[in-house]
Amino acid sequence: MPLNVLDRPPEVHEDPLDVIDEIERLKREHDAVILGHYYTDGDIQDIADFTGDSLKLARDATRVPNKTIVFCGVHFMAESAKILSPEKRVLLPDLLAGCSLAESCPPEKLAAFQRELRGQGHDIVTVAYINTSAAVKSLCDWIVTSGNAREIIDRVPADKEILFVPDQHLGRYLSEVTGRKMILWPGSCMVHDIFSLQDLLRVKRSNPGSVILAHPECPRNILEVSDVIGGTEKLRKHVAGVVTPTTFLVATEPAMIHAFQKVAPQHTYLMVPGIMASDGTTCACNRCPHMARNTLGKVRDCLRELRPEITWQPYYDGARAVLQRSILEG
Ligand code: CIZ
């Protein structure tokens, strides 16, 4: 008989310090290393052996000598690590940690759109943000992250048209900074799509001298009023380079503030509010629900059980070459 919600046994409370001790023991037992994205909670970033954006972590995954990688991030990141290091065991603490951008671009739809464009005479090069599935990557010519996008787009011959997938805001921003015309896929990130311009301006007004940091996945209206635009690694380097204590308004996933505080504790960081609901309350919906699936308990459990594991899929073969040349070479 199914359990009624009220009949469920209460969750056992575990002392986080005991969980961390067990994680350390299991890491030694299984020769494991923990990679943690800047968008995971602070306690996950703190136990990670390496933290970073998807570019840095994908590279770290190929360089670490360990047999097992626990990838605290989302599915496409762990998948990319497996594709670039097929000989390693890659664990993702929660297989449901997906990505709204990756979901917005199914491979069959992309393949059909590419056929349609080619049929109309467009000579396209498809550039995909790394926030895509391996099946989509295998249909693309280049994979970019917020950290290497400009550099890679500059390599696309000028006589080619660029189809950029799946983030329309990042694509539009890159088109502006590189001067390359692009055909944009209409995807967007659920976290960055939702900042409220009105509330951002209000916070800015009540914090004179504050500096707005924005991720290029934000819509144009947010980028237009921002002082520094960049991927997480660029923003982190920026705050670390500012000596004078400053108030930064942060228009990206709020867990990033933990990474900022570690390199530049002299500053004050304020989250940019999300859009206002009809009752006048401002949502706190900028937290990525997928990244939040990474918890200490799940990291411990995946090391105990050695699953969920990202296992090799036949279609990974098609994504390997493009990932290698985009992420590891050049
Ligand atoms: O590339 C990444 O890791 C993401 C998702 C954002 C960023 O700018 O680092």
Q: Where are the domains of the chain?
A: 5-98+291-312, 102-188, 192-271
Does the pLDDT of residue 284 top 70, yes or no? no
| Residue in 40, 50, 53, 174 to alter for ligand 1 test, most ligand atoms within 8 A of Cβ | 53
Higher pLDDT, 252 or 283: 252
Pocket of ligand 1 (CB under 6 A): 53-54, 130-131, 145-146, 215, 231-232
Q: For residue 82, what pLDDT band results from cuts at 50, 70 and 90?
A: very high
Residue of 51, 54, 99 with the most ligand 1 atoms within 8 Å of its CB, for mutation: 54
> Hey, whose CA ends up nearest to atom 1 of ligand 1?
54
CA neighbor of 297 nearest in space, from 287, 305, 288, 309: 305
Which ligand 1 atom lies nearest to the CA of residue 216? 8
d(C-alpha 308, C-alpha 95), whole Å:
6
Closest by CA to 58, choosing from 137, 115, 165, is 137
pTM metric for this prediction = 0.92
Residue with the smallest CA separation from ligand 1 atom 5 is: 54
Ligand 1 centroid, distance to 14 Cα (angstroms) = 31
CB-CB neighbours of 73 under 10 Å: 28
pLDDT over 80 at 280, yes or no: no
Q: What is the mean pLDDT of the chain?
A: 93
Q: Return d(Cα 302, Cα 48) in angstroms, integer.
A: 14
Decide whether 5-98+291-312 matches 102-188 in CATH topology. Answer: yes
Q: Looking at domain 192-271, what is its CATH homologous superfamily?
A: NadA-like (3.40.50.10800)
CATH homologous superfamily for the domain 102-188? NadA-like (3.40.50.10800)
**Structure token digits, residue 283:** 């949502």
Atom of ligand 1 nearest to the CA of 234: 8
Distance 284 CA to ligand 1 centre (A): 20
pLDDT of residue 1: 43
Whole-angstrom CA distances from 53 to 110, 235, 317 are 26, 11, 24
CATH node for 5-98+291-312 = 3.40.50.10800
Distance 303 CA to ligand 1 centre (A): 25
Q: Concatenated DSSP letters for 15-29?
A: -HHHHHHHHHHHHHH
Q: Which residue's CA is the closest to the ligand 1 atom numbered 8?
A: 231
What pLDDT was estimated at residue 8? Answer: 53
Q: How far does the centroid of ligand 1 lie from the alpha carbon of residue 91, in Å?
A: 20
CA of 129 to the centre of ligand 1 (A): 10
**For residue range 186-224, what is the model confidence (pLDDT) as tens digits?**
999 998 998 889 989 999 999 999 999 999 999 999 999
Tokens found for residue 206: 């009540």
How many angstroms is it from 13 CA to the middle of ligand 1? Answer: 32
In 3D, which of 168, 162, 156, 198 has the Cα closest to residue 326? 156
Cα 73 from Cα 98, distance rounded (Å): 9
Residue, of 1 and 285, whose pLDDT is higher? 285
List, in sequence order, every beta strand (DSSP E) within 96-188.
124-129, 142-144, 161-165, 182-184
Q: Read off the pLDDT of each residue in 33-56 and give the average, rounded to a whole number.
A: 97
Locate 5 and state its tokens: 């919600």
- Asked if residues 280 and 273 have their Cβ atoms less than 8 Å apart, the reply is no
Task: Return the sign of the alpha-carbon dihedral for residues 103, 104, 107, 109.
Answer: positive
Mean pLDDT of 134-160: 95
173 with 223: CB under 8 angstroms?
Answer: yes
Q: How far is the CA of 280 from the centre of ligand 1 (A)?
A: 31
